[in-house]
Amino acid sequence: MPILSLSVTGVRNLHPVTLQLSPHINIFYGRNGSGKTSLLESVYFLAMARSFRSSKQQPMIQQGADEALVFAQIQQAQQHEPSRLGVSRNRNTELTIRLNGETLRSVSSLAKTLPLQLLNAESFLLLDGAPKYRRQFLDWGVFHVEHAYMQSWQRLQQSLKQRNYLLRHAIIDEQQLAAWDAEFCAASEQIDQFRQAYLSRLKPVFEHTLAQLIELPELGIGYYRGWDRERSLAEVLQSGRERDRQLGYTQAGPQRADIRIKLAASNAVDVLSRGQQKLVVCALKLAQGFVLAEHVQQGCIYLIDDLPAELDAVHRQALGRLLEQLGCQVLITGTDKQLLDQGWNKDTQLKVFHVEHGQINLVEQANE
Q: Is 255 within 8 Å of 187 (Cβ atoms)?
A: no
Q: Is 207 within 8 Å of 283 (Cβ atoms)?
A: no
Say yes or no: 230 and 354 in one domain.
no
Burial level of 101, CB count in 10 A (0-12/13-18/19+)? exposed
Q: Is 126 within 8 Å of 133 (Cβ atoms)?
A: yes
Say yes or no: 335 and 201 in one domain.
no
pLDDT digits (tens, 9 = 90+) for 308-346: 787 888 888 999 999 999 989 999 999 988 888 877 888
Last residue of a domain, one of 237, 264, 297: 297
Tally the domains of the chain: 2
Last residue of a domain, one of 234, 265, 297: 297
Say yes or no: 282 and 330 in one domain.
no
Q: What is the predicted pLDDT for the residue at 310?
A: 79
Say yes or no: 138 and 284 in one domain.
yes
Q: What is the predicted pLDDT for the residue at 45?
A: 95
Say yes or no: 82 and 197 in one domain.
no
Q: What is the predicted pLDDT for the residue at 170?
A: 64
Say yes or no: 219 and 272 in one domain.
yes
By percentage, how much of the chain surpasses pLDDT 70? Answer: 98
pLDDT digits (tens, 9 = 90+) for 247-293: 999 999 999 999 999 998 899 999 999 989 999 999 999 999 999 99
CA atoms of 87 and 72, how far apart (whole Å): 9
CA atoms of 57 and 185, how far apart (whole Å): 35
Say yes or no: 293 and 307 in one domain.
no
pTM to 2 decimal places: 0.93
CA atoms of 114 and 241, how far apart (whole Å): 41
What φ, ψ does residue 308 adopt, rounded to 5°? -65, -20
Say yes or no: 314 and 291 in one domain.
no
CA atoms of 137 and 119, how far apart (whole Å): 12
Q: Residue 116: which pLDDT band, with cuts at 50, 70 and 90?
A: very high
Helices (H), 240-307: 241-247, 268-271, 274-296
CATH of the domain at 321: 3.40.50.300
Say yes or no: 89 and 175 in one domain.
no
CATH of the domain at 156: 1.20.1050.90
Q: Which long-range contacts (CB under 8 A, 24 or more apart) does 267-275 make?
A: 268/127, 268/219, 269/127, 269/128, 272/127, 272/216, 274/124, 274/310, 275/310, 275/311, 275/312, 275/315
Give the strand order in the sheet containing 219-224: 219-224, 258-263, 266-267
Say yes or no: 10 and 141 in one domain.
no
Strands 17-20 and 266-267: unpaired
Summary mean pLDDT of the chain = 92
pLDDT surpasses 80 at 368: no
Say yes or no: 311 and 195 in one domain.
no
pLDDT digits (tens, 9 = 90+) for 210-233: 999 999 989 999 999 999 999 999
Say yes or no: 171 and 48 in one domain.
no
Last residue of a domain, one of 243, 277, 297: 297
What φ, ψ does residue 221 adopt, rounded to 5°? -110, 125
Domain that holds residue 272: 124-297
